[in-house]
Amino acid sequence: MRFLDKNNLSLKEDWYGNNAAICCSSCGKVFLVSQILHRKGRACPKCGLTHATISRTEVAISETPGSP
């Protein structure tokens, strides 16, 4: 599991308010996760191997075991 750092986002990451854009580490698709719309987090809509959850203070990203 890794966490986004608001002060050190990569080119394929963004975090604004209660929304974050994440790049799937398995397939490369960029997807959105919202604290309001996705209360239990959201998996990558293309492959489902990366899952992200967002709270007021952090964005947690986890990869399914076996993913690159």
Q: Tokens 């608001």 map to which residue?
A: 6
Record the pTM. 0.84
Q: Strand, helix or coil at 60? A: strand
Q: pLDDT tens digits for 48-58?
A: 999 999 988 89
User: Is 10 a domain residue?
Assistant: yes
Enter the tokens of residue 55: 């709270």
> Number of structural domains, the chain?
1
Residue 68 lies in a domain: no
Tokens of 32: 């959105």
- 17-52 pLDDT, tens digit per residue, is 999 999 999 999 999 999 999 999 999 999 999 999
The count of C-alpha atoms lying within 13 angstroms of the C-alpha of 36, restricted to the half-sphere facing its C-beta, is: 4
Which domain covers residue 38, as residue numbers? 2-63
Per the domain annotation, does 38 fall within a domain? yes
